[in-house]
Amino acid sequence: MIVRILAMVALALSGMSAVARAADPRYPNWPCAQAKVPEISLAAVWAGPPLDDAETRWKDDTKITALVSKLSARKTPMDEAERSVKEFLAGSAAGKAANAKLLFAGLFETLNAQRSQVMNGLERVSRKQREAADKIREDSIQLQTLQGAAPRDDARVEALSNELIWKTRIFEDRNKVVRFVCEVPTAIDQRLFALGRVIQQELE
């Protein structure tokens, strides 16, 4: 039984080190395989006209803010989002170029903020996971000591074994969630780029 628990612990912790191995020295708490880019630069996603004061003014236009929050929501399917952009700009007539800039400025700021939030969360969880891994390691050493002690305190061995099983299970579940959430910043990049591309095409 104890041997099995210790093997399970070793396996769970080895999963952790697989993530840590390829770590970026600049961001030791970054848990994802994709190298961290802390924020999206405008130049990476926009080759259209300079946004100028649209970067601040977009918040004053209620039509723009409503559309930005709809398009930024991951629950809005991409094809529907793209259609909304086209419809909005087609209905803008003379104000098309100005509206295009306001819309992209809003999307850029909103999606970048969304992305930062997710990334901060990932780093926070990864820090906690490291602490949890240390604790699991300590507990397993203690368990080994208890097991070898004479006379053996069976009640304590069992209590600690159970605790270790739980901690390891939680640790593993969190690791799975982290791997899944690592895809989210990329999905946001993808959305911003795709919407930017549609807006630029409409301007051409």
Q: Contact, 173 vs 128, CB < 8 A? A: no
Q: Which is nearer to another protein, 18 or 73 (CB)?
A: 18
Judge residue 106's burial from the number of C-beta atoms within 10 Å of its C-beta, 0-12 exposed, 13-18 middle, 19 or more buried.
buried
Q: Which is nearer to another protein, 41 or 120 (CB)?
A: 41
User: What minimum distance in Å lies between the beta carbon of 134 and another protein?
Assistant: 22
Q: Which is nearer to another protein, 48 or 106 (CB)?
A: 48
Sorted by sequence, the CB contacts under 8 Å of residue 92 that are 6+ apart come out as 99, 100
Q: Which is nearer to another protein, 29 or 38 (CB)?
A: 38
Cis-peptide into 151, omega within 30 deg: yes
What SS3 string covers 24-84?
A: CCCCCCCCCCCCCCCCCCHHHHCCCCCCCCHHHHHHHCHHHHHHHHHHHCCCCCHHHHHHH
Q: Which is nearer to another protein, 8 or 194 (CB)?
A: 194
Which position has the token pair 């946004």? Answer: 51
Judge residue 99's burial from the number of C-beta atoms within 10 Å of its C-beta, 0-12 exposed, 13-18 middle, 19 or more buried.
buried
User: What minimum distance in Å lies between the beta carbon of 39 and another protein?
Assistant: 7
User: What minimum distance in Å lies between the beta carbon of 44 and another protein?
Assistant: 5
Q: Which residues bind another protein (CB under 8 A)?
A: 21-22, 24-26, 35-45, 47, 186, 189-190, 193-194, 197
User: What minimum distance in Å lies between the beta carbon of 20 and another protein?
Assistant: 11
User: What minimum distance in Å lies between the beta carbon of 121 and another protein?
Assistant: 19
Q: Contact, 195 vs 81, CB < 8 A? A: yes
Integer-rounded Cα radius of gyration of the chain: 25
Q: Which is nearer to another protein, 26 or 75 (CB)?
A: 26
User: What minimum distance in Å lies between the beta carbon of 21 and another protein?
Assistant: 6
